[in-house]
């Protein structure tokens, strides 16, 4: 497993050279570039600008993993859904041009007055369409476990079953609701077969979430993807990133007892 970050709170206000430097200095190996942030990597970039961004990453130790979009497919307005599908395809092209491997998307809740199963089917079929396009560009559609109601693990499993495409994968999001009786395993087991090459992690010192157990489950699946920090804001992110790197390495280590991090011992 490798460590990276999402430009959510950390990095949202960094330009691209600063972002790459800070990640490299702290030992962060990859980055998901959340759309609309200061890095400026957006679907509006020209061919020349995309080539420049690609070279910046290729000349660094940091891997561009892909854009983090806010594309979603639950709207009751089918025109809006199509707009999101079309935008997803643009992000796929952007990712491929810059050397990324996938695009983060999300479900974002249910629509009042519409049957949940109908919305689940609509989201799943939209994802399949996006997955078919992504596969042509050797990209993943990374479906973040997200949204009011849609973040429910059972709902996410249904969405993925409807999508039913190898390029449509899960971006595990380390949500509080994933823990059942102190263990994340029952939830993890429902989606582990669809894990993509990125997941999101948050405060690793949070004893309410069993990160040690999660890391052990990922190891058991021979997971070699990127664990991306999506952690709260700090006034000194470059310094905190170094501590985060150290804690990440400790959690991966077999010498650390699980009880130190709020998870049951294996």
Reading across the β-sheet that carries 2-6, which strands appear in turn? 168-171, 140-144, 102-105, 63-68, 30-34, 2-6, 226-229, 198-201
Residue 189 pLDDT greater than 60, yes or no? yes
pLDDT of 266: 37
Average pLDDT over residues 2-29: 96
3-state helix, strand, coil in the chain (%, to 5): 45, 15, 40
Residue 263 pLDDT greater than 50, yes or no? no
pLDDT digits (tens, 9 = 90+) for 66-114: 999 999 999 999 999 999 999 999 999 999 999 999 999 999 999 999 9
Which H or E element spans position 70?
none
pLDDT of 9: 87
Residue 248 pLDDT greater than 70, yes or no? yes
pTM: 0.93
Q: Are 5 and 31 in contact (CB under 8 A)?
A: yes
Q: Are 149 and 114 in contact (CB under 8 A)?
A: no
pLDDT of 253: 85
Average pLDDT over residues 250-263: 58
Q: Are 93 and 103 in contact (CB under 8 A)?
A: no
pLDDT of 91: 98
The class of domain 2-261 in CATH terms is alpha beta
pLDDT digits (tens, 9 = 90+) for 103-149: 999 999 999 999 999 999 999 999 999 999 999 999 999 999 999 99
Domain borders along the chain are 2-261
């Amino acid at each position: 497993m490798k460590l990276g970050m999402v430009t959510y709170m950390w990095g949202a206000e960094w330009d691209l050279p600063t972002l790459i430097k800070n990640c490299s200095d702290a030992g962060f190996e990859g980055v998901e570039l959340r759309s609309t942030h200061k890095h400026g990597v957006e679907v509006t970039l020209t061919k020349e600008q995309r080539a420049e961004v690609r070279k910046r990453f290729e000349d660094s130790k940091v891997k561009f993993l892909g854009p983090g979009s806010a594309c979603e497919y639950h709207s009751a307005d089918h025109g809006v859904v199509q707009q999101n599908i079309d935008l997803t395809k643009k992000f796929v092209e952007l990712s491929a041009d810059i050397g990324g491997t996938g695009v983060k998307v999300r479900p974002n809740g249910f629509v009042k007055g519409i049957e949940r199963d109908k919305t689940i089917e609509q989201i799943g079929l939209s994802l399949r369409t996006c997955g078919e396009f992504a596969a042509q560009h050797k990209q993943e559609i990374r479906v973040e476990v997200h949204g009011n109601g849609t973040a429910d693990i059972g709902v996410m499993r249904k969405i993925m079953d409807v999508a039913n495409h190898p390029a449509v994968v899960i971006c595990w999001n380390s949500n509080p609701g994933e823990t059942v009786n102190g263990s994340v395993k029952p939830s993890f087991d429902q989606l582990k077969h669809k894990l993509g090459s990125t997941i999101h992690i948050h405060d690793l010192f949070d004893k309410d979430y069993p990160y040690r157990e999660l890391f052990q489950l990922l190891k058991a699946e021979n997971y070699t993807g990127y664990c991306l920090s999506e952690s709260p804001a700090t006034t000194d992110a470059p310094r905190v990133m170094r501590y985060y790197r150290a804690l990440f390495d400790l959690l991966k280590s077999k010498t650390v007892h699980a009880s130190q991090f709020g998870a049951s011992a294996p």
